[in-house]
């Protein structure tokens, strides 16, 4: 198939599997053009410890880093949501974390589309090509194709972020780690920077899952059963009255 043939070419995502843990952005002599004052966009709507996070996974990473990396504290703009440059539209670009002068991103490859974006694919045509090939594959081929595509998307994302870091000047030459899962985060970040009290991998992955499932801490106040029934009745105003009359 054409998709598999392209996977064995120069752009093969197999090459991404041999990438080292960290990547370094090359320094350039040129200076970035002057831009307007950046527009700071929303940092997310999950409040935990006075900090707003974009996702539960991001909050879980922050919790574990503070728990196991000696001296690490979440400080907005310093160790969390670190500014790395400005987009052409004037929006501030940020990296998720910085620990010991190393930028860290938690970014699982987005292989599925959303209502507005084709995941991490460059455009809708690339996404549609992938789906067309995927739908013609056998079950075994689908597993292989998905793994190859995820590696390719991660490599493309990493290269894009490195380019943005270089263009931003402030963090030129700084190492970037991209973790694609909780296990990857443990291997690349926690094992490298944590102290001797770091538990085994399975224990930490369990902590990660627990941290992402605490609605009272990460997703706002947990609704009671009565509140849930009230919300459903507001959606369907005639439901409760119909049941009572029956």
pLDDT in tens, 196-242: 999 999 999 999 999 888 644 544 444 455 545 555 555 555 544 44
Q: Give a yes or no: residue 102 inside a domain.
A: yes
Predicted pLDDT at 27: 42
> What pLDDT score was predicted for residue 237?
54
Could you tell me how far CA 38 lies from the centroid of its own chain?
22
Residue 221 lies in a domain: no
Within a domain: 219: no
Write b or e for each residue in 188-208: b if 16 or more Cβ atoms lie within 10 A of its Cβ, otherwise e: bbbebbbeeebeeeeebbebb
Q: Which of 160, 211, 144, 152 is nearest to 182 (CA)?
A: 211
The DSSP 8-state label assigned to residue 15 in this structure reads: G
Residues spanned by the domain of 152 = 2-213
> What distance in Å separates the CA atoms of residue 94 and residue 75, rounded to the nearest whole number?
13
Q: Is residue 182 over pLDDT 60?
A: yes
Give the model's pLDDT for residue 222: 47
Instruction: Look at residue 104 in the predicted model and tell me its pLDDT.
Output: 97
CB 16 within 8 A of CB 153: no
CA angle, 188 then 62 then 163, to 5° = 60
pLDDT higher than threshold 90 for residue 52 = no
Q: How many helices (H) and strands (E) does the chain have?
A: 10, 7
Separation of alpha carbons 17 and 246, rounded Å: 62
The residue with greater pLDDT, 116 or 22, is 116
Q: Which two tokens stand for residue 207?
A: 């902590």
Q: Answer whether residue 224 is part of any domain.
A: no
Q: What is the pLDDT of residue 44?
A: 62
Report the sign of the C-alpha dihedral through residues 180, 186, 187, 190, in that order: positive
**Position 7 in a domain:** yes
pLDDT score, position 15: 38
Predicted TM-score of the model (pTM) = 0.69
d(CA 74, CA 217): 16
Alpha-carbon Rg for the chain in angstroms: 22
Give the pLDDT score at 220: 44
In a domain, 64, yes or no: yes
CA–CA separation, 222 vs 215, rounded Å?
6
In a domain, 106, yes or no: yes
In a domain? residue 21 = yes
The number of distinct structural domains making up the chain is: 1
Length of the chain: 246
Q: Give the number of other CB atoms < 10 A from CB of residue 37.
A: 8
């Amino acid at each position: 198939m054409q998709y598999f043939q392209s996977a064995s070419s120069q752009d093969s995502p197999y090459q991404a599997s041999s990438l080292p843990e960290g990547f370094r952005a090359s320094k350039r002599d040129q200076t970035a053009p002057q831009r307007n004052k950046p527009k700071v966009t929303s940092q997310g709507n999950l409040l935990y410890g006075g900090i707003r996070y974009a996702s539960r996974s991001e909050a879980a990473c922050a919790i574990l880093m503070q728990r196991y990396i000696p001296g690490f504290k979440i400080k907005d703009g310093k160790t969390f949501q670190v500014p790395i440059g400005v987009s052409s539209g004037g929006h501030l670009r940020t990296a998720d974390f910085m620990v010991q002068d190393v930028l860290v991103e938690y970014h699982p490859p987005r292989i599925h589309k959303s209502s507005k974006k084709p995941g991490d694919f460059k455009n809708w045509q690339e996404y549609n090509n992938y789906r067309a090939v995927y739908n013609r594959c056998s079950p075994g081929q689908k597993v292989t194709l998905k793994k190859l595509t995820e590696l390719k998307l991660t490599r493309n994302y990493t290269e894009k972020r490195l380019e943005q870091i270089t263009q931003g000047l402030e963090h030129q030459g700084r190492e970037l780690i991209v973790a694609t899962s909780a296990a990857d985060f443990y291997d690349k970040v926690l094992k490298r920077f944590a102290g001797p009290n770091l538990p085994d991998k399975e224990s930490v992955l369990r902590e990660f899952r627990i941290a992402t499932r605490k609605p009272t801490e990460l997703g706002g106040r947990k609704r009671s059963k009565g509140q849930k029934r009230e919300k459903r009745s507001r959606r369907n105003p005639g439901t409760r009255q119909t049941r009572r009359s029956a």
